[in-house]
Amino acid sequence: MRSVAFILVPAMALAGLAVARAGEPAALRPIKLAVFPFELEDFSAAAAYTPPDEIDREQLRLSTEEARRLIAESGRYQLVDVGAASGETAKAGKLHDCDGCEARIAAGLDADQSMIGIVTRISRTDYAVTYKIRDAQSGALVDVAQTDLRAGANSAWSRGARWLIQRRLLKLD
């Protein structure tokens, strides 16, 4: 009987530990994040006369890539492929104007959260870079952060995105 106890007690302890750990990965698993391409919001005086050009589109692409790279490398998030997003708003690059519709799109992609990045052109040398993260189920804002770029060029957009991701989202110093 004693030998049975030697076997059962450790087995029961291991089973209890396994049950306790079964709930742990859900709390520690990376958040599935749908990071949509950065978008340009142009409030400059020239906006009506000078539409976004290839340089602007390239800088938005680089900003998106930099944000996605840093987020993925952190291990806190698992990036969800947003290429399958079929909404016209997403395709038109107007998620920043849709009052949180990116959360519904992210939910359809099986993401936990959505993220949009916005570069706001105030003038040809003054910009703001913002990200907004929403809960994919409720659409509620989870996090918003912004940084300003003064006397800069659009080539600084990715630097602004990097600063935001590192210093605000991931809180790295």
Alpha carbon distance 114, 42 (integer Å): 23
The packing angle between helices 157-164 and 54-74, to 10°, is 20
Higher pLDDT, 151 or 52: 52
Residue 43 belongs to some domain of the structure: yes
Number of structural domains the chain divides into: 1
Alpha carbon distance 105, 98 (integer Å): 11
Mean of per-residue pLDDT scores for the chain: 84
Residue 150 belongs to some domain of the structure: yes
80-131 pLDDT per residue, tens: 999 877 666 666 678 888 889 999 999 999 999 999 999 999 998 899 999 9
Q: How far is C-alpha 134 from the chain's CA centre?
A: 9
pLDDT at 11: 45
CA distances from 162 to 117, 129, 146, 147 (A): 11, 10, 12, 10
Residue 134 belongs to some domain of the structure: yes
Alpha carbon distance 157, 60 (integer Å): 7
4-16 pLDDT per residue, tens: 444 444 444 444 4
CA distances from 123 to 2, 38, 48, 119, 154 (A): 82, 18, 12, 12, 11
What DSSP string runs through 65-81? HHHHHHHHHHSSEEEPP
Alpha carbon distance 80, 109 (integer Å): 7
Q: Which residues contact 168 (CB under 8 A, 6 or more apart)?
A: 131, 143, 145
Residue 157 belongs to some domain of the structure: yes
**89 closest CA partner among 67, 111, 78, 104:** 104
Residue 2 belongs to some domain of the structure: no
12 burial class (0-12, 13-18, 19+ CB within 10 angstroms)? exposed
127-144 pLDDT per residue, tens: 999 999 999 999 999 999
User: In the structure encoding, which two tokens stand for residue 108, read together?
Assistant: 């359809």
Residue 15 belongs to some domain of the structure: no
Residue 8 belongs to some domain of the structure: no
CATH code for the domain in which residue 118 is found:
3.40.50.10070
pLDDT at 99: 86
Enclosing domain of residue 122 = 30-169
Residue 3 belongs to some domain of the structure: no
